Structure 1
Amino acid sequence: MMQAWKVNLIVLWFGQFLVNAGTTMIIPFIALYLSQDIGVQGEHRIAIWSGVIFAANFVTSFLFQPLWGKLSDQYGRKVMLLRSGFGMAIVFTAMGFATQPWHLLVLRLLNGTISGFNPASISLISSSTPKEKMGFAMGISQSGTVAGSILGPLIGGIMADTVGFRSIFYITGACIFMATLLALFLVREKFDRLAASKMPKVSVLSGFRELSLTPQLPALFTVTLLLQFAMISPMTLMPLYVQKLHGTAENVAFWAGLVSAVTGLSNMLMAPILGKVSDKYGAHRVLTFSLIGAGLMLIPQAFVQNVEQLIIVRFMMGICMGGLLPSVNSLIRYYTPDGMESRAFGFNSSTTALGNMTGAVMGGVLAGFIGIEGLFIMAGVLLLLNMVWVRTKLYVKPGALKHNTSSPSQSNPSDYHKK
């Protein structure tokens, strides 16, 4: 029989793919759904409602992810995964019945509130995977998330033309429901409820303060935050930048989509490979070189002369980014105190939502002063500075580590401590 950790990884890969595809599937047609099916009139009103509805999911996700992480450590990761999966299946289906824009807004807020499938999946995978396979498993998990995010808008656009807007929500809800059913019957979790019940009950803020006492964790959370900011901040202006480089408005939508998708494609392909590299040579080393590469590949995007050059640079950037989140997740697992793993992944998921929010808002504001070229340079410099911070925290003296007697740089790089 296949080992339990491999079954968990396969089942949760499909779950993460479907959840992320479903979440991003509405992006291409949300404005059309509001105008054609819900009846919102006026370009200005449609734009406002579209922006607010899209951002709503990230706001509540940022607020509630740490709470679900805390409850996951107390009651188990699988029950939180099922709560999130079945809850999102119901919410997505309900979006297809919306008749007013505020209906869609409330449901998006609710979806962000109950979401948590990704951090629960990562926590489950990390708790069941052998330590020598951790980087590989995190890379495979990341590829499912990225694949869903890339293909979601494409699938949504195709389905909108074939089955209509409302049917997409029904289909998405059904797919998430089926993925959660698979997790219910196939995913196995080793969780000691008795030991968890004896752990001290602390508030979300107290838990964050306790995690912050481990100096490596805030630096790792910041990697996730800055990565999301770097990806999201230029996205709304990318079509205009592509048009400027292309020199004509012809096929701008196609080229802008290709510029965005190529980064995710290379990320998806390289994440499992770099995950295996991290198992052999150490997640800390892969994270360091990935941060340097991603930072250096962001800056040239401000100086390219045509779309083809932009595509090449963004493809290279995606290769480097493929090593970031798997390494971050492996190291979060490494440094997190026993019994707080899900809480740590919950906070990391919260920083993802915060990066999405600040990227979407601050990107537009800052671009008014420094242009999209300035955004590329600023994001690259921030990632390089973050690399310096991460290295100073990961390469500490042996006596400074809380959980084992040697740092990952001074011991066997793949020798993750046993939980």
Structure 2
Amino acid sequence: MEKTSWKRNLYILMVCQFFVMAAMTMIIPFLPLYLQELGVTDSQSVSRWSGIIFGANFLTAFLFSPLWGKLADKHGRKMMLLRSGFGMAIVITLTGFATGPWSLLLLRLLNGMISGFIPAAVALISMSTPKRQVGYALGLLQAGAVAGGICGPLFGGVMADFMGFRMIFYITGITILVAAFVVLFFVKENFEKKETRVKTNTMQDFKKIASTSPLMALFLVFFVVQCALIGINPLLSLYVQELTQAQNLAFYAGLAMSVMGLANMSASPLLGRVSDKKGAHYVLLGALIFAAVITLPQAFVQSYWQLIAFRFLLGLCLGGLLPSINSLIRHLAPEGMESRTFGFSNSFMYLGTMLGPILGGWLASFAGIRSLFIASAILLLLNVMIVKIKVVPVMKRKMSENVNS
């Protein structure tokens, strides 16, 4: 690969991730309203179907992610980007033609099965970027995705008012289709297939990857981070309602989420450079400690603007969490199994994303919303212990060996 081609890929995929994430997040906030348009009118039924349909996407993504990782190691990461991009463009467009909750559920399951554009982009960039600059590259890549996640709901809200819900699905499909064509024509990958005589199944792949210390610890950290932080999001609007008497509650709830994304986007490239210089394990450890310290006081805030300040600080921590985890996975993955390693990592991420809101809702139902922040802080402190004991010593030893050699 040319010396600068990884930079071209990075900038192209950063823009593509912005549009893909913006397109996908356009529709998430309006799924309950779309269900009402499809004929589900009872409030309890809307809540029940919304939870099921939201989780369905992550269930199939969790199940199929290792398969796509294995195919990426065989056929290339660009192929997985194209599979996901064109596949999601078709499925999300068809979602605009749903006739009822069951057809919508089926399409969400199918979308989760073929999804994975952003994980595939992470795998491609991490493999094509020089190791000394992986942290910076993954930080930029995350900044693009987070920016899309911030803008998507805003775009979707405006379009829903003017065009209706179904049109959002059509526009989303077209946007992802354009991103897929950009990848097809402009992203370059010099993929060299590594022939292996030994055929392995998914369980054998997982055992080999999990035995590579400390990958299993990083998978667990990924799962807990998603569980701890995503579990709060669905109920954040209720907490905002408790803290403010403002009429435009939706705006204030959206701001509480967006301010965290803005901080995340701002911090990701900077913390990525720090991880390249000082070590991704140190950035991960520091970000986890800071995240735990910032999360706990959110349980005791008395005003909305206190919550906003803490959510912004938490967003800064997130800018160092996910890129540093992915950077460490890139450095530790067994040779020839890099995409499979990312595949299993993504499965743990999807599992945390799926279980977090379920467990968060269960906890809040009997202990109150404020208990979520206390539980989240405890989980993050547990992650600090895992990283301190399992990850940091191994990475310090590897860095020392590299210096000596």
TM range, normalised to the smaller chain?
over 0.9
Distance in 2 separating the partners of 1:397 and 1:301: 34
Q: Which stretch shifts more, 178-187 or 369-378?
A: 369-378
The secondary structure found in structure 2 opposite 1:396 is: helix
Does 2:220 correspond to 1:222?
yes
Preserved CA contact (<8 Å) 1:123 1:342: yes
Does 2:157 correspond to 1:160?
no
Preserved CA contact (<8 Å) 1:262 1:315: yes
Preserved CA contact (<8 Å) 2:221 2:386: no
The secondary structure found in structure 1 opposite 2:399 is: coil
Structure 2 letter corresponding to 1:6: K
Preserved CA contact (<8 Å) 1:219 1:386: no
* Shift of residue 409, structure 1, vs aligned partner: 6.3
Structure 1 letter corresponding to 2:130: P
Structure 1 letter corresponding to 2:34: Y
Structure 2 letter corresponding to 1:298: T
User: Residue 203 of structure 2 corresponds to which residue in structure 1?
Assistant: 205
CA pair 163-54 structure 1, distance change in 2 beyond 3 A:
same
Structure 1 letter corresponding to 2:111: N
Preserved CA contact (<8 Å) 1:216 1:390: no
1:357 maps to which of 335, 350, 354? 354
The secondary structure found in structure 1 opposite 2:398 is: coil
* Shift of residue 408, structure 1, vs aligned partner: 3.0
More helix by share: 2
Distance in 2 separating the partners of 1:227 and 1:16: 22
Structure 2 letter corresponding to 1:244: E
User: Residue 9 of structure 1 corresponds to which residue in structure 2?
Assistant: 10
User: Residue 242 of structure 1 corresponds to which residue in structure 2?
Assistant: 240
The secondary structure found in structure 2 opposite 1:97 is: coil
Preserved CA contact (<8 Å) 1:284 1:408: no
- 1:67-146 matches, cutoff 5 A: 67-146=67-146
Structure 2 letter corresponding to 1:23: M
The secondary structure found in structure 1 opposite 2:122 is: helix
Does 2:258 correspond to 1:286?
no
Distance in 2 separating the partners of 1:397 and 1:165: 50
Name structure 2 gaps, 5 residues minimum: none
Distance in 1 separating the partners of 2:3 and 2:401: 34
Matched positions, count: 404
1:376 maps to which of 369, 373, 376? 373
- 1:277-316 matches, cutoff 5 A: 277-316=274-313
The RMSD of aligned alpha carbons is 2.0
**1:233-259 residue CA offsets vs partner (Å, 9 max, x unmatched):** 12232222222222x253322221111
**1:303-359 residue CA offsets vs partner (Å, 9 max, x unmatched):** 111111111011011101110111111100011110111111111111121111111
Structure 1 letter corresponding to 2:209: L
The secondary structure found in structure 1 opposite 2:334 is: coil
Preserved CA contact (<8 Å) 1:77 1:120: yes
User: Residue 49 of structure 1 corresponds to which residue in structure 2?
Assistant: 49
User: Residue 267 of structure 1 corresponds to which residue in structure 2?
Assistant: 264
Structure 2 letter corresponding to 1:333: R
The secondary structure found in structure 2 opposite 1:322 is: helix
* Shift of residue 410, structure 1, vs aligned partner: 6.7
User: Residue 26 of structure 1 corresponds to which residue in structure 2?
Assistant: 27
* Shift of residue 397, structure 1, vs aligned partner: 6.1
CA pair 339-397 structure 1, distance change in 2 beyond 3 A:
closer
CA pair 281-369 structure 1, distance change in 2 beyond 3 A:
same
Preserved CA contact (<8 Å) 2:61 2:347: yes
The secondary structure found in structure 1 opposite 2:27 is: coil
CA pair 216-191 structure 1, distance change in 2 beyond 3 A:
same
**1:127-186 residue CA offsets vs partner (Å, 9 max, x unmatched):** 111122111101011112222222222221111012221111111111111111111111
Q: Which stretch shifts more, 329-338 or 154-163?
A: 154-163
Name structure 1 gaps, 5 residues minimum: none
Q: TM-score, normalised by structure 2?
A: 0.95
CA pair 80-397 structure 1, distance change in 2 beyond 3 A:
closer
Distance in 2 separating the partners of 1:181 and 1:79: 12
**1:68-91 residue CA offsets vs partner (Å, 9 max, x unmatched):** 111111111111111111000000
CA pair 190-373 structure 1, distance change in 2 beyond 3 A:
same
The secondary structure found in structure 2 opposite 1:304 is: coil
Structure 1 letter corresponding to 2:219: F
* Shift of residue 373, structure 1, vs aligned partner: 1.8
Preserved CA contact (<8 Å) 1:199 1:339: no
Structure 2 letter corresponding to 1:66: P
Structure 2 letter corresponding to 1:53: I
* Shift of residue 96, structure 1, vs aligned partner: 1.1
* Shift of residue 391, structure 1, vs aligned partner: 2.1
Preserved CA contact (<8 Å) 1:119 1:342: no
Distance in 2 separating the partners of 1:68 and 1:201: 16
User: Residue 398 of structure 2 corresponds to which residue in structure 1?
Assistant: 407
Structure 1 residue ranges (4+ consecutive) displaced by more than 6 angstroms after TM superposition: none
Preserved CA contact (<8 Å) 1:122 1:141: yes
Once the two structures are aligned, what percentage of the paired residues are identical?
A: 53
Q: TM-score, normalised by structure 1?
A: 0.92
Distance in 2 separating the partners of 1:189 and 1:296: 41
Preserved CA contact (<8 Å) 1:395 1:407: no
User: Residue 176 of structure 1 corresponds to which residue in structure 2?
Assistant: 176
